[in-house]
Structure 1
Amino acid sequence: MKPLSALPLRQHNHQHCINDALKQAKAIAEHKDLRFTKQREQVLRLIWQSHKPIGAYQLMDALADATGKQVAPPTVYRALEFLLEHRLIHRINSLNAFIGCPCPGESHAGQFVICRRCGIALELDEASIKAPIQALAASVGFLIEQQSLELSGLCPTCQVSAEGESEHG
């Protein structure tokens, strides 16, 4: 399991995240003979610009700001569908938003911790969680096709901030 002090929870250069994500996406597209269009690249770049999930309409606004022209919703949704289909991003259902996948192209259960205060999200990869959930589902005859676990709370930075506020409030 990745520790909670992992990369997104401390200050760092997001450009490295963006560059790695684009490099991996281009490699996957080339390997699978897929078209990684400029629009798809721009959407992926915007998703990786921070470690906060971003919604489709926020993406449309950001693309309009970057290109100087309005972007139609179907254009963004097609790019998101492509990125989801090829496991380059994840959908955070509770927020109706998207976040970059640090292990693109690999099939894995999504486990996310999401800070309700600052909005940062971190994908965890703990295999030991998947088996009991599948066993529980199987016990009632259910076959899980996709698994995503979203946990909401406070990141370490926001915990410290909340403690400071409660001491002064």
Structure 2
Amino acid sequence: MSGKLHTHHLEDAESFVAAVEQASEERGLRLTPLRKEVLELVAAAGKPVKAYDLLDHLRERHGNAAPPTVYRALDFLLEQGFIHKLESINAYVSCHHPAEAHQVPFLICDNCASAQEVCDARVAELIEAQARAFGFRPQAQTLEVHGLCKRCREG
């Protein structure tokens, strides 16, 4: 993982969902049909997706989906580390490493809304070390860097 930069959605959505299904089975988790469907929608989006966009897609398929249903599924997927929430834009992305718990920074393009996961453990370790140096005990960290991606800068 160290020193590598990956674009979001390294794997295709189908492979990602299969990896989450396997991780769920190994952990004894129940990936309900709704949770799986929300996961598939996040994975297929190809960029950060908002909860209400997910709700709209579910309503197209089922007609009666309600916000609490979507948020419960998202909460489960977040809790298990299968997806990440980008707080600054209030959107969700699938995780490159659904089988392992980790903290990663994201590079978010303010023009096209793409998000890149920075898969470099040194970043999270540095933040945690700095926090400890100040006597601070971190419980979670989210680092989101905003700017323009290469494609938007060159386009």
1:147-162 to 2 correspondence within 5 Å? 147-161=141-155
Q: 1:148 is paired with a residue of what secondary structure?
A: coil
Give the partner amino acid of 1:127.
A
1:47-78 deviation digits (Å, cap 9, x = unpaired): 0113311111111001112x140311111011
1:52-131 to 2 correspondence within 5 Å? 52-65=47-60, 67-131=61-125
Identity of aligned residues (%): 38
Deviation, structure 1 residue 27 = 0.6
Match of 2:137 among 106, 130, 143: 143
Any unmatched runs of 5+ in structure 2?
A: none
The size of the alignment, in residue pairs, is: 152
Provide TM-score, normalisation by structure 1. Answer: 0.83
Q: Distance in 1 between matches of 2:125 and 2:81?
A: 21
Give the partner amino acid of 1:135.
A
CA RMSD of aligned residues (A): 1.6
Q: Give every structure 1 segment of 4 or more consecutive aligned residues whose post-TM-superposition deviation is greater than 3 Å.
A: none
Bigger drift between 48-57 and 110-119 goes to 48-57
**Highest RCO, 1 vs 2 (Cα 8 Å, sep ≥ 6):** 2
Deviation, structure 1 residue 105 = 3.0
